[in-house]
Structure 1
Amino acid sequence: MTIDLKDLPMNVITRQFLEDLAASVEKVKRSGGQRAILTSGKPSFMAGAGFEGCQRAVSARCRGVVQNGDEFCRAF
């Protein structure tokens, strides 16, 4: 799987990224796969969390980003 957030100069973790990644993991699991390789379409792999989005969002939405991240980690 290649991570390449088109509208950003660096890949960052956003709610949409976590939702898309979780959907990709589910697709791999449904196909019988047990592993996936994550690569980056940018020179750097990942800058970290996209806090700008969290700062503009309400607190509950930020908790959703964290919860999605926890769910993603538990998938492995």
Structure 2
Amino acid sequence: HIHTHQEERLEVVEGTVRCRVAGKEYVLERGRVMVIPAGTPHAVWNDDQRGSRSISEYRPAMNAQAMFRGYIVERSSR
């Protein structure tokens, strides 16, 4: 997906997270931070069988809550 007007900062708190940013894959372990510029295609997913936790920040915040409400509903209905 793409956030056309927002930078995303992802920090891994626990476990391992994998992401693809502009076609390149990364494995982020606990303590690692990835900053994804606005307008950059990316995907982020859990890559740890034990689970993972991460914190994402969006700048400017705009209406990020609405995006996640829609995403959670869509994913939970599958």
TM category, shorter: 0.3 to 0.5
- Name the structure where strand makes up a greater proportion of residues: 2
Q: Report the TM-score, using the length of structure 1 for normalisation.
A: 0.35
Larger helix share, 1 or 2: 1
